[in-house]
Structure 1
Amino acid sequence: MRTAAAHAAPAMPVLADPGQLMARREALGAAHAAPLASYAAALRRSTGQPVPDADPADGGVAARLLLLLETPGPAIGRTGFVSRDNPAPTARNLRRFLAASGLARRETLIWNTVPFVIHAPGAANRAPSRREREAGLALLPGLLKLLPELAVVVLAGRAAAAAAPVLAVLRPSLPVLRMPHPSPTYVCTSPAVPQRIAATLAEAAATLGDTHRSIAA
């Protein structure tokens, strides 16, 4: 017999709740989140494009792991955040993978290689063009200046992988890991894809553990 839990509906994504969304907006003024909120606001002014904020429920400027995705998805128009809590399939997958990895949320920051919205209102997301990738990569130094505790970067997807040479110049000693994008488009193509994502995040968690032990010693 199936239990009541088996019939329960999936939990609603946190940022689909207007009250929770308002609380996250208010939390952008917190010490760990405010510098990134200012950075995003400056990008909105300079690019003239929508640029979502980093989720203040994550580590903010104290983050030790930077997870770079590709571009803001359609859910951004509803929430204004780059977040694992967005009401979108990619966020749902990411939320699941991050929870399984054991990575503490306060250690992480999620951002996009191309931080501004590139799709037309109401249109499906698309891969960034070469010019858009280059424009996004040119903004990466400003982000890294805000992350003094950074100990590892995870690049998710092909567009994010283009950040590797930039990171090698800006932070030569920083470990950089690559994994497939967590979009259902990729995750559902082969069992190997979720396995690679899980393995990469596990390696990132181990890297943070090793860094912590090295500092403590």
Structure 2
Amino acid sequence: MRLLIWQLSLPDGARESLSRTAERARIGACAFTRAKRQLKEEGFVHERRLQGPGGHWITQQPVSNVPLSAAEAAKILARMPVHPSSADASPQVAPSPRLPTVGIPTPPLTDGHPTKDPGENTSHRPAEPERQPDPAPKPEPAPETSEPSEAARALVAALPHLSPDLRRIPRGMHDELARLVARWLAACHTPTAVRTHVLRGLPDDGTPVHRPDGLLRYLLHDVPPAPAPPSPASLQPPNGPPPHARPAASPPSANARATTYKRPSSARPATRRGAPAASPHRLSGSQRAPLSDGPDTLRAMTPHDRFRTAAPRALRDPGALRARLEAVHGEPAVRPLNEWVEKLRTRLGDGESVPWFDPASGGVKARSLFLLEAPGRKAMGAEAELRRTGSGIISVDNDDPTARNCWMLREEAGLPYAESLHWNIVPWYLGTADRIAAPGRSEIQRAAPFLHEIISMLPALEVVVPMGRKAQAGWAAYQETYAPKVHTLPTWHPSPRVFASRPAARQEILDVLRTAERILSGGAVSGA
């Protein structure tokens, strides 16, 4: 319809083709072909091709505002003059006669044979260049070492423990991967740098890796130049490193996922029989003795007793959330951490919001630290710039599916929340008001000093569980600068998306949490 309207709006006597009209009306090629076919079927456009003066072929396209039959269109075409396709077209003329060249005809100069014998050789070969002495042969490059070093083999053997995606590396690929890793080590890359590069190359959470050996071969094929090592003093917080985290004097070993940390024997009080005293925080609800009014059995109520929850998503209750927010600055165990949060909000300025630490957690007395990527929407409170409707606290009791999975897994593993702490590699919210964003390399590097400040306030820390690839990459970058004497147990991100795409991920997370519980209980752990 638009093509017909444009054609009918042309002035009287205008001669413009349908293709030119479609170009001016910004009608695409497919739409023009379809419109032209419909106009011809309805009788608004008729078309005839004929040969005009000079042999030029001309296409005539009469356009009418009413449908015309073929007979009516033929009468109109008969009255239409035949115009050449161009103003410069002229009737074909006969070629002019060929003018002869000047002079008389002569035979070609190459015809016949020489009339006389020159008596000598007339060939003129180019003079041969002087023979230069052969240059000295260049030394051949030394062949690559067929046998990789033990450090490279140990690093490849530890890669399955780096991420659940890498647990199914065929044994036959270990030698080839060890040779690739040996090239990285020969280029002055530290083992931690190799592990960090591998973690950053893994796909996003939830995307399965069907061939981890091929992915590792692709990631390790090109060896970039080794960066200059950062100065530990530039990341040092004002209070100095914690007792269990010191600047690394040398790169960590190739296959060490974490450095084993043994609690001193004096850290736990002993009973009369010499066995460690059972902490009331490590007892389940059915094992705890009820409070009594007697002077010998009266004990203080801990934050875990006061905020104990019997089901996940407890903070959806406004009363429970109000009580938890009122205790943000009141509980001694989390008061130093939340004071640090206030200072961090001031340092970051507007545009980035940092949630509070959970008063029900272990706070500065935590022995296990669970690291995720970045705060979610349900962790942002009403005071955040994005005006979230969440709790404003990093807690397993939040009203979101990830927190629910953490609550359920912790209960099944028997891991006490009063001795744990949940935090994020990037402590501030990322994304927009409608969509959360995953942290990138620049955000992880920017947040590294803040993670060190948090760990500086956790003197009893023994186990760190980075959950998800982003958290694992951030923790690996932290280990590259500092050598924390803690157990590192990487595992999956506890989001519903991961559980839906990987049915075995939940059981693997549960196994990791049970391993953490055995470490905190003083049991022997294989590979620790």
TM-score, L = length of structure 1: 0.87
Counterpart residue number, 1:7: none
Of 185, 188, 198, the residue aligned with 2:500 is 188
Letter in 1 for 2:319: G
Of 489, 499, 503, the residue aligned with 1:177 is 489
The answer to whether structure 1 residue 16 and structure 2 residue 316 are counterparts is yes
Query: Cα deviation per residue 1:116-158 (whole Å; 9 max; x = unaligned)?
Result: 011212x222211211111122211100111011011000001
Contact 2:312–2:397 (Cα < 8 Å) also in 1: no
CA distance in 1, matches of 2:427, 2:520: 25
Counterpart residue number, 1:71: 374
Of 446, 463, 466, the residue aligned with 1:135 is 446
**SS of residue paired to 2:464:** strand
Contact 2:312–2:407 (Cα < 8 Å) also in 1: no
- 1:164 deviates by 2.5
Gaps of 5+ in 2: 1-310, 381-389
The answer to whether structure 1 residue 56 and structure 2 residue 376 are counterparts is no
Counterpart residue number, 1:3: none
Counterpart residue number, 1:198: 510
Counterpart residue number, 1:95: 407
Counterpart residue number, 1:215: none
Query: Which gives a bigger RCO, structure 1 or 2 (Cα 8 Å, sep 6+)?
Result: 1
Counterpart residue number, 2:345: 44
Query: Cα deviation per residue 1:15-60 (whole Å; 9 max; x = unaligned)?
Result: 1111111111121221101011111111111112110111111111
**SS of residue paired to 1:182:** coil
- 1:170 deviates by 3.0
The answer to whether structure 1 residue 86 and structure 2 residue 398 are counterparts is yes
**SS of residue paired to 1:142:** helix
- 1:12 deviates by 7.0
Letter in 2 for 1:147: L
Counterpart residue number, 2:426: 114
Contact 1:168–1:174 (Cα < 8 Å) also in 2: no
**SS of residue paired to 1:68:** strand
**SS of residue paired to 2:343:** helix
Query: Cα deviation per residue 1:158-194 (whole Å; 9 max; x = unaligned)?
Result: 1110213414643432111101000111111122211
Counterpart residue number, 1:26: 326
Stretch deviating more after TM superposition (39-48 or 84-93): 39-48
**SS of residue paired to 2:512:** helix
Letter in 2 for 1:205: E
Aligned residues: 202
CA distance in 2, matches of 1:136, 1:186: 25
- 1:108 deviates by 0.3
Contact 2:372–2:423 (Cα < 8 Å) also in 1: yes
CA distance in 2, matches of 1:171, 1:149: 16
Letter in 2 for 1:181: H
CA distance in 2, matches of 1:40, 1:87: 22
Counterpart residue number, 2:130: none
The 4+ residue runs of structure 1 with deviation greater than 6 A are: none
Are residues 83 and 12 of structure 1, via their aligned partners in 2, closer, same or farther at CA, if it must alter by over 3 Å? closer
TM-score, L = length of structure 2: 0.37
Q: Decide which structure has greater strand share.
A: 1
Radius of gyration: which is bigger? 2
Counterpart residue number, 2:23: none
- 1:113 deviates by 0.6
- 1:64 deviates by 0.2
Q: What percent identity do the matched residue pairs reach? A: 39
**SS of residue paired to 1:149:** coil
**SS of residue paired to 1:178:** coil
Q: Root-mean-square deviation (CA), in Å?
A: 1.9
Q: Decide which structure has greater helix share.
A: 1
